[in-house]
Amino acid sequence: MDSTQIAEMIIAEIRETVPELAGETMTAADSMAELGVDSIERSEIILATMEKLNLKIPMVQLHGPKNIGELADLLLSKSAG
Amino acid sequence: MTYPVASPVAVTGMGVACGLGYGKAAFAKGLFETPNVFGVLRREGREQPEDETPFIGVELPDEPETLPPRLARTTTFPARVALRVLEEAWADAGLEEVDPERIGLVVGGTNLMAREQALAASRYADRLAYVPPRHGHMFLDTDIAGLCAANFPIRGFTLTVGAASASGAVAVIEAMRAIRCGDIDICIALGALQDLSAYDLHAMRSLGAMGSERFADDPGRACRPMDADHDGFLYGEACAALVLTRENFATPGKIYGHLLGAGHVADGSRGPEPDTQGQQRAAELALDEADLTAADIDYVNGHATSTPAGDEAELETYRALGLTHARINATKSIIGHGLSAAGAIEIAAVLAQIAEGRLHPTRNLETPLDPGFGWVGPEAVPHRIRHALKFSFGFGGIDTALVIAAPEDGEGRKS
């Protein structure tokens, strides 16, 4: 599992959670907030990705990333730890 | 007892959904044609093991989803139905030009999302860490009012009231009061869909409130309010919204009728047991407020659930009030018991009958428990309603009554 794969998982969850974005091209450089994903939806996407990674950590530890790629990096580091 | 005559409130818009379909047209048609809509409950989360008596009741027909998918996925079934019913009522009343701060909303019902909450609880039981954050608000009863105000320009206030099976009627009463106190000009009363889970259905049956063991193999005959063969209420999914308007407040909507008086009392019962004295007191308060007497009532829409104890107590109420001259029917015989929605959708039924100039049949009323009343049996009857009395009761000792007048009979008799 690398960061690129996790970013792809996040993007798949975004498409699932925000049907309007289902047909959009999204990359690791995109920020969820700028894509129009609201804060509850962002939490849902992150939690669903955490479940796929079998990762159990408090959501507060995931604050900070500016885009999907940074979030993927952080989730990867938490998974490794 | 004398009370000052309270100002009447007009009903200028309606939206409904029940087993007869979505919308006023399907509702009015079904009330008079009385097709059987009862069957085994099949919605996910209400299934029964094969070896147990199935739950009988009424479920809404499937309809194509009209909400945007992004919104639909965050809403419960009662919330989606509420939005749809509100949309109909809103357009019907023509509220587009009304100042949003002069519009309020009262939603009737509690524990509304029980079925989907039970499904979620079992789905996430072994992985609580991943419970969707959305579940922190979407199962709150107040989510319905929130969603309504997020999608319609309602900026006066929202309020969610609980009164068990009288919730819809209490929503209407609270909406009347809000208009009378002057804070707003329009108040929508919405009896929300009570989405029962298998757990709730079992409990209601164990309690002896819900039928039907007797007609398990013949669902169309199971719901029989005021009939000698009744054996309990039958659940029916329903939702209704009524737009209440201050009298003489100009809106484009037609006037369906006037709410002249209301009674809402506590009788001191905790559980399901009915109390005829409380019921009478509610009716007397409603009549006093309308400045009418029981002799002026020409039509009664009963609470009439089909439970043996409830029907008997209500008959005693009719006798004590002296309502033998009035025509009486039971809307639950056609659409089942909407619980939180019952009071609101049955008031809609009264208004639909005023508009039709006919009274709808009472399905399955073959052997009236007391033949000394003016029952409307299996056939509709022509009747011009002038003043109707509508009862709604709820577990926990809640008794309500409303006096509803035809559009041309909006003034109380003595005023």
Residue A48 contacts B where some CB pair is shorter than 8 Å: yes
B135 has pLDDT over 60: yes
Q: Report the relative pairing of strands B238-246 and B9-18 from DSSP bridges.
A: antiparallel
Q: For position A80, what pLDDT does the model report?
A: 80
Q: What confidence tens digit (pLDDT) does each residue in B167-185 have?
A: 999 999 999 999 999 999 9
A-chain residues within 8 Å CB-CB of B123?
Answer: none
Query: How far is Cα B153 from Cα B98, in angstroms, rounded to an integer?
Result: 9
Q: For position B53, what pLDDT does the model report?
A: 87
Q: Which pLDDT band holds residue B2 (cuts at 50, 70, 90)?
A: very low
> CB A47 to CB B130 under 8 A?
yes
CA nearest neighbour of B223 among B333, B356, B120: B333
Q: What confidence tens digit (pLDDT) does each residue in B376-415 have?
A: 999 999 999 999 999 999 999 999 999 999 999 886 554 4
Q: For position B412, what pLDDT does the model report?
A: 59
How many degrees, rounded to 5, is the angle at CA B24 between CA B37 and CA B93?
A: 155
> CB B129 to CB A56 under 8 A?
yes
Q: For position B248, what pLDDT does the model report?
A: 84
Residue A58 contacts B where some CB pair is shorter than 8 Å: no
Average pLDDT over all residues of chain B: 95
B-chain residues within 8 Å CB-CB of A20?
Answer: 68-70
Q: Looking at the structure, give the CATH architecture of the domain made up of residues A3-80.
A: Orthogonal Bundle (1.10)
Q: What confidence tens digit (pLDDT) does each residue in B334-357 have?
A: 999 999 999 999 999 999 999 999
Q: How far is A50 from chain B (nearest CA, A)?
A: 8
pLDDT under 50: residue ranges of chain A = none
B19 has pLDDT over 50: yes
Residue A47 contacts B where some CB pair is shorter than 8 Å: yes
Q: For position B411, what pLDDT does the model report?
A: 67
Phi, psi angle pair for B219, to nearest 5°: -55, -30
Residue length of chain B: 415
Q: How far is A17 from chain B (nearest CA, A)?
A: 7
Q: For position A70, what pLDDT does the model report?
A: 97
B-chain residues within 8 Å CB-CB of A17?
Answer: 73
> CB B130 to CB A50 under 8 A?
yes
Q: For position B5, what pLDDT does the model report?
A: 53
Q: For position B267, what pLDDT does the model report?
A: 98
How much is the average pLDDT of B198-224? 94
What percent of chain B is predicted at pLDDT more than 90? Answer: 91
Stretch among B10-19, B23-32, B248-257, B320-329 having the lowest mean pLDDT: B248-257
A-chain residues within 8 Å CB-CB of B74?
Answer: 40
Burial of residue B80 (number of CB atoms within 10 Å: 0-12, 13-18, 19+): buried
> CB B134 to CB A48 under 8 A?
no
Q: Which pLDDT band holds residue B3 (cuts at 50, 70, 90)?
A: very low
